[in-house]
Amino acid sequence: MIKMEEEKTWAWLMPSGKIYKVVTNPEEGTIDVYDEDRKLVSKEEKLSEEAVSLLEKIFLETAASEVGGKEMEKEEGTENELGIAMYIR
């Protein structure tokens, strides 16, 4: 049995210096890209698990390298820790 991967989130530093948030979910077949204002700028749906995993792999091999990190988000007075890997090229 193949283990299903969970949602992955990372920050993507664009050549312009802007940081976009990318959320991929191979199990659901989705890739969402948000701009600095958290506005959804791209949404891919109905992708196969293999397609999402392949796109993640290609992105990481050709357009990015991991620098690591975590983001703390405050929401109505509470802190929710979101694990984020940051990639830059």
* 10-62 confidence digits (pLDDT tens): 778 888 988 888 888 999 999 999 999 999 999 999 999 999 999 888 877 76
Indicate the burial class of 71 (C-beta count within 10 angstroms; 0-12, 13-18, 19 or more): middle
Cα separation of 25 and 14, whole Å? 21
- The predicted pLDDT at position 82 comes to 47
Cα separation of 48 and 31, whole Å? 11
More confident position, 67 or 51: 51
More confident position, 29 or 9: 29
- The predicted pLDDT at position 20 comes to 87
Q: Residue 85: pLDDT above 50?
A: yes
Polymer length in residues for the chain: 89
Q: pTM of the prediction? A: 0.66
